[in-house]
Amino acid sequence: MRHPKRTGRLSGPGRKVQLATAAMLLVATTMAACGDGKDDGATTSAPAAPATIPELTTDPLTLSFIWFEWPPAQALEAFANEEYKKERPNVTIKVNTVPNANWHDAMFTQFAARKTDFDIAILDSQHIGEAVTNGNILDITEFVKNNIEVDAYNPYLLAAYGQFPQAETGQRDENASLYGLPLLGDTWTMIYRKDLIGDEPPKTWDEMISVAEKCQADNPGVSGLAFHQANGSDAAAVTYNTVNGVYGGNLWDAKNRKIEGVLNDAAGQEAMDVLVNKMKPLTAKGSGNWFIDEVNAAVAQGKACIAFNWIAASGGLLDPKESTLGSTREQILDKLGFATLPSQKTDLVPLGGMGMHVSAYSAKDNQAEALNFMKWFERADIQKKWAAAGGVPSRTDALESPEFLNAGPFNQVYADSVPRMRDMWNVPEYARLVDIENTNVNAALNGAKSPQQALDDIAKEQQAVLDSSNRKGGGGL
């Protein structure tokens, strides 16, 4: 290393660094403070959408959605561009997709930025609380009153994808505000191998477990069960919640915001015991990080007797190119059956699917177009076409239509499941609640925690999140 001999009395930027640092600190504090000030005005309640659709533009316009990467996203884009263009030739539909694991973060970081590259957010039903509380999406209560035939829906479907505060299971509160409309209905279906366990699906959860056990014993190399166990998204959490519901447990006491003692009551403990000690031993080795795609792969490879998956994600199972079960759709359907979930103490099934929600930060023209799109989408004829295109509609007439029931072998399952649905907590703290549950259920499934310990930890940590609103610092740990 040679040392340059160049001299010259330079005071140099050394001192300047210190000065600049001081200045920056000042600016930082000021700017942060300013930022806060600005936030104050913009938050705490969702802005209202116009009750009637404003005049629409005739200029070319791109209506953007945000969803996660899966086949329904492509189906929606293709369907909307095909059909909506007939009414509005100047509009192009773009469905932006992000990885499922990044879905919540991608939407809410943009909401936090107060600038979104989407006009319609496709929120999970449990995201509504967070979005409404932060004022990220439009209140469309008046718009719905004037433009949507609410009587055409099962009230709970309308409530689940739009209402906040959250509706009680199976009901809709007509006085509550609405923030979204259903886009895609979904629930779990039981996928079973007709050639291995017979044509008749098991009726109760206990029966399902013993059938799976026998099937696994009779067919070496095939595991009895396949279901979601991963610690990301809402994978393991939905699995536990489903078993919890079936065995008569409750996730929380919504009125009193109580989780501790409710989730981990006797029914909750039994559910956890069934999941970890009876169901988990019937799954494939190393399946502890499985989610939608791995479960599908196991079924397509003929490696599972009974599997559980979201209906909207099951279409690929009938594709002979991806399957070893047969070389045509018919051959595959000879082996695969789709049924509603078995019941035990209750017949509850998990509510899946998503609604459409208008971003509060998108341009006025785009918001108007978004409302128009939603009104169009909820029309009886369009809902049937959406069903025929592979979507799952929400209007009762569309659900009962041959267009829907004949479009896929699992669609009857959905129609039968609608009255049985239960959702998770739809509160602003949802993301943290679901992470706590995911990681703990995943830990229990993979032997990192005892089932009892995991359940108690979930209840304790979730309760702490609900109670933490008034703590001085350290929130989020």
Q: Which residue has the tokens 């909307």?
A: 80
Least distance (Å) between residue 83 CB and another protein: 17
Nearer to another protein, 220 or 473 (CB): 473
The 10 Å Cβ neighbour count of residue 224 is 25
Q: Where would I find the H helices in 88-204?
A: 103-112, 128-133, 141-147, 155-160, 194-197
19 binds another protein (CB under 8 A): no
Q: Say whether 356 sits in a helix, a strand or coil.
A: strand
Determine contact, residues 121/92, Cβ cutoff 8 Å.
no
171 binds another protein (CB under 8 A): no
Total count of residues recorded for the chain: 477
Give whole-number Cα distances, 370 to 86, 109, 321, 356, in Å: 16, 21, 37, 9
Of 388-427, which residues contact another protein (CB under 8 A)?
none
* Chain-centre distance for alpha carbon 403: 25
Q: What span, in angstroms and rounded, lies between the C-alpha atoms of 311 and 392?
A: 9
What are the tokens at 395?
A: 């209007």
Q: Which residue has the tokens 């509603």?
A: 340
Of 303-342, which residues contact another protein (CB under 8 A)?
303, 313, 315-316, 321-322, 324
Least distance (Å) between residue 447 CB and another protein: 7
Judged by CB under 8 A, the residue of 117, 206, 273, 397 near another protein is 117
Least distance (Å) between residue 129 CB and another protein: 12
Q: What span, in angstroms and rounded, lies between the C-alpha atoms of 240 and 247?
A: 11
Least distance (Å) between residue 164 CB and another protein: 16
Judged by CB under 8 A, the residue of 57, 97, 343, 346 near another protein is 97
Q: Which stretch binds another protein (CB under 8 A): 29-37, 208-216, 261-269, 418-426?
A: 29-37
Letters for 47-86 (x = contact with another protein by CB under 8 A, - = none) are -------------------x-xxxx---------------
Nearer to another protein, 172 or 280 (CB): 280
Of 230-289, which residues contact another protein (CB under 8 A)?
230-233, 284-289
381 binds another protein (CB under 8 A): no
Angle at 227 between CA 390 and CA 207, to 5 degrees: 105
Q: Where would I find the H helices in 96-154?
A: 103-112, 128-133, 141-147
Judged by CB under 8 A, the residue of 55, 58, 60, 474 near another protein is 474
How many chain residues touch another protein (CB under 8 A)?
109
Beta strands at 181-193 and 349-358: parallel, antiparallel or unpaired: antiparallel
Nearer to another protein, 216 or 401 (CB): 216
Of 436-465, which residues contact another protein (CB under 8 A)?
439-440, 442-449, 465
